[in-house]
Structure 1
Amino acid sequence: MAEIQPIRAWRYNAGLSQRIDEYVSPLFDVVSAKQRELLYQNPLNSIHLSVPRGDDAAGEALRRLTEWQQSGVVEQDALAGIYVYYQYFRLAGSQREYCRKGFMCHIRAYDWAEKVVLRHENTLPTAVNDRAELLARTQFQTSATHGLYRDEDFELERYCDEAILDPLCQTEEDYQGARDVLAVIQDATVIRRFQEVLSQRQVILADGHHRYEGSLAYRQARMAAEPNHNGHEPWHYHLMYLTNAAADDLRILPTHRLLLELPGNITDAELLERLGQWFTVTSREDAFALPEIIAGKPWAFGLYLGGQPYKLRLKPEVHDQLAWDTTPEVKALDLTVLHYFVLERVLGIVGPDAQRQWSGITYVRNFPECLQRVDSGEARAAIITNEVTMDEVERVCQSGAVMPPKSTFFYPKTLGGLLFTSIRDDEPVPYAPFNPGL
C-alpha cells in the first residue's frame, strides 16, 4: 500500500520560527481577498512561495526561494524526520477543546488507478496545470495536502504524543482560531514503524486534490522524459499531512448552498410548489433552529426563502428516480439528493457539469451568513445542509466515485509555511522504501 518517506524539511530559521505566526499562510481558497493582501504585504510570508503573483508567478517563487535559501531565511534540518503536527481548536457553541493529531512526510505520488491514494472530488485542469508548473520550476513543496489513513489501534499517536512535548515551533492562534504545534521524530526505529503501518494502508485525500494532481502530472512528465529512472528519485514523492480517520477529533463541517438567483424568474410560490413534488415541505417558526431540526436526518434540508424557514425532507419513494450514472454510495448522500432533485429537477440545471459552471449558486459555511444574505436581497434562498460523515467519505472513495462539489470541509485547515520540502534531483531519499516481505 502507501510508501512514505521521512523528510529533511526546510524551515524558517530559529529566530523567525519564534514568530511563526507572521510567516504561516492559509490555503488559498479559504481566506478572503483582504486577508490575502495582508499576507502579501509581508515579504517573508510563505504565501509568496505557495501562491506567487506576477506575470511569471512560478519564476518569481523560484527567485524568492533562492534568495531565502542563500540569505538563511529558511534552513534545511540536518536530519530527516517525521514531522508531528497537532492542531488545537474549539467549535462554535462548544467548550470542548479538540486536538487533531497528525504528521507530515513524503508519500509516493500514486496514480489514482493504483488505488493507494483515493480521491473524493474532481479537479479543474487549469488549477492542476498551475500547481504542476510551480512544482516544475521550483522543485519545492510549499504546503502539505491532507490525507487520511485508518488505524483503530492508534499506534502512531503514541509516538506523536511523546514528540509534541518538545515542539519546534507553535502559533499563538491562527486565522481560524486554532493553535498549531510542530515537532519532529528522528529516531530511525520509530520512523521505520511509521513506514510499516502505512505500508498496510490506503490513504484518502481529504484536502489538496489540485496540489496532489500537480505532483502526479510533474512525476509523469519526469518519468516520460527519463525512461531509465530508478523509481526512487525525489520527484516521485509528494508532501502530505496524514491523520487517523478513526479519531474523534477529525471534524467535517457542513457547506450550505446559497441560491443567488432562481432560473426563469421562478417566484417563491412556484419554487415551493415544485419542491413539493419531491419533498415534504414544512413551514417552521425559527430560522436559527434549522440546523437542529435537520440534524442526523437523512435527505433533510433547511430552506430559507423570503424570510420564512422551511424543513425539506425527500419523499422516500422518489429516491429511486435519481437517475445520475454513479454508485449507490454517492446516490445515498444528502448532497447528491440536493443537487439532483433541487438543482436539476426543480431548477432545471441539468447534470453535474452544468451545475459546477452555474453562476447562480455559491457555497457558504457560515450558517448566519446564509440568512443574512437572503434577508439583504443578495440571494434568493439558502439551503441548509448536514455535514458529511467520515463513514460516507470512506464508502464513496472505496466505490471509486466522487462526491458533488464542495461536499466536505475538513476542519481546521492545515497551514502553509510550517515547513517546506525539496524534490530536487540532488535531494537524497533518506530511507530505502519499506518492503514488508523482507
Structure 2
Amino acid sequence: MPDAVLRLDPLRAWRFVAGKVSALGAVTSPPYDVLEPAIVRRLTDSDLYNMVRLILPRDPDLGPARYDEPAHRLSGWQRDGVVVQDEQPALYVYEQRLGDALLCGLVGALQLDPTRHVVLPHEDVMPHWVADRLRLMQATDADLEPILLAYAGGGVASDAVDTARSGEPWVEAETYNGAEHRIWRISDPEVLAGIEAELAKHEAVIADGHHRYAAYLERQLREPYRQSAEVGLAMLVDYVRHPLTLDPIHRVVPGLDLATVQLRTPSGWQMQPGRVEGDPNRISVTDGSSWLTLHAASDAPAVTLLHQVLLPAWGVSEDTLSFHHTLADALALADAQQLAVELTAPHMDQVLRSAAQGVVLPQKATSFGPKPRVGLLFRTL
C-alpha cells in the first residue's frame, strides 16, 4: 500500500435550487451534534426542506427503520429538482462570515487514512454515535455534513483559495443568525494540480466531525470494493491564514451532588467555593445555585483530568454524561442531584501535540469553530 498523503479530490457536489425553497439560508442547519431541541424546532419550522429533516432522524423507537425517512425524503428532493448536482467536478471554496468571525477553506472529497498518518484524530468517539452516523450514511448513500480539518501553512493551496474569493461567488446565502455564506468553484486543471501537490506535503488534524470520520472509515471497511467509499466529504482550513476558534464542551452529570464532589475529590486538588474565573485550567461544578472550582497542578487538559481522574473518583460512568456546547444549556439542567461541569478549552498546542503523538483526548473534548453550515454542499456516493 503506498504511503498516505493528504488529498482532497474534486467532486460533483449537490446543492439546493434557490427557486425551489424559501431561501438558501433557510434550508441549512448547524451540524447535528450542536442541535439543542429549541434550535431543531426553529429549523423544522423554517422550511419544509431544511437539512435538519435529513441529519436528525426522528422516532428512536423505530430503530434502524427510522433512517428510511430521510433516505426517502432525499430521493424525493432529487426527483423533484429541489436539489441538483453540479455538472462538473470541482473543489469548492467556502466562506462563512459573521461579524469578525471568518471560516474559509476548501470543500472536497477527502481521501481516507485508516493508518492515521496524515489525517489525525485528536479526541475519542462514542460508538453509538458512530453507528448512528453510519446508518444515516448507508440509508441515504450520501455524506450530508462535511467534517472540518485544520492544517498549517497551505502555501499554493491557500493562495488558490484567496484568488477564487476575488471573483463572483457561485452560491450566496444568509442564515437567520446574520451569517453570510459564499461558495466559489475551482475547476481549472492546473490550479487543481497545484493544490494537490501542495496538500501532499501536509498532515491535517480533525477539528470537528470525529464521529462522522469514524463512520467514513467503517463504511470503507464494509464496502472495500467501492471506490466512492474511499473518500468522505470534508472541509480543509489553513488555520494559520484563517484561524479557528477553540472552545470547551461542558458536561451534565446525573446522580452527582456537591457533597460527593467535596468528599471524593482526590487529595492534591485545590478546591475553592464559588466559580473562580481567570484560571485557564480549572474545572467548575454547580448544582444551579452553589459552585465549586477545582484545580490540579498538572499540564494535562482539564477535560483529560475530568475523565481520567475525577469521574472515576466520584463514581461516575462516562455513559451517563450529556454534552453541551454552551454553558447556558448545561446550567439549565443543573440541580441538587445533577451537576453541570464547566470546562476550559485545551490549548491549540495541546491538541496538535496529542494528535501528532497518536494520543486522543476524551470524547467531546473540544469545539472548533466556526463550523461549516450543513446544506450548502453535500455529496452522494
TM-score interval (norm. to shorter): 0.7 to 0.9
Q: Does 1:281 align with 2:275?
A: no
Deviations 1:398-419 (CA, angstroms, capped at 9, x unpaired): 1212112221011222221101
Counterpart position of 2:239: 245
- For structure 2, which runs of at least 5 residues remain unmatched after alignment? none
Aligned letter for 2:104?
K
Query: 1: distance between equivalents of 2:57 and 2:286?
Result: 39
Among 36, 50, 75, the alignment partner of 2:40 is 36
Match of 2:110, SS state, is strand
Among 250, 255, 258, the alignment partner of 2:249 is 255
Counterpart position of 2:311: 343
Match of 1:294, SS state, is coil
Deviations 1:80-126 (CA, angstroms, capped at 9, x unpaired): 21111112235xxxxxx121211100011221x24222212233334
Change (3 A) 1:47 1:301: closer
TM-score by length of 2: 0.85
Query: 1: distance between equivalents of 2:290 and 2:258?
Result: 14
Summarize the alignment of residues 186-265 of structure 1 with structure 2, pairs less than 5 Å apart. Answer: 186-223=187-224, 226=225, 233-247=227-241, 249-262=243-256
Match of 2:124, SS state, is coil
Query: 1: distance between equivalents of 2:295 and 2:132?
Result: 41
Change (3 A) 1:343 1:51: closer
Q: Does 1:110 align with 2:70?
A: no
Tell me by how many angstroms 1:251 deviates. 0.5
Counting aligned pairs with the same residue, the percent is 26
Tell me by how many angstroms 1:395 deviates. 1.0
2:18/2:24 contact within 8 Å kept: no
Q: Does 1:356 align with 2:318?
A: yes
2:26/2:175 contact within 8 Å kept: no
Counterpart position of 1:6: 10
Counterpart position of 1:272: 262
1:260/1:381 contact within 8 Å kept: yes
2:258/2:287 contact within 8 Å kept: no
Change (3 A) 1:196 1:344: same
Give the length in aligned residue pairs. 371
TM-score by length of 1: 0.75
Structure 1 stretches of at least 4 aligned residues deviating more than 6 Å after TM superposition: none
Q: Does 1:332 align with 2:300?
A: yes
Q: Does 1:46 align with 2:27?
A: no
Change (3 A) 1:174 1:186: farther
Aligned letter for 2:151?
Y
Summarize the alignment of residues 37-436 of structure 1 with structure 2, pairs less than 5 Å apart. Answer: 37-40=41-44, 42-53=47-58, 55=62, 56-90=65-99, 97-111=100-114, 113-151=115-153, 154-165=155-166, 166-174=168-176, 178-223=179-224, 226=225, 233-247=227-241, 249-262=243-256, 268=259, 271-272=261-262, 274-275=264-265, 277-283=267-273, 287=275, 290-291=276-277, 293-295=278-280, 299-304=281-286, 307-314=289-296, 316=297, 332-345=300-313, 347-349=314-316, 355-357=317-319, 359=320, 361-368=321-328, 374=334, 377=335, 381-423=339-381
Tell me by how many angstroms 1:189 deviates. 1.5
1:294/1:311 contact within 8 Å kept: no
Aligned letter for 2:143?
Q
1:127/1:210 contact within 8 Å kept: yes
Match of 2:185, SS state, is strand
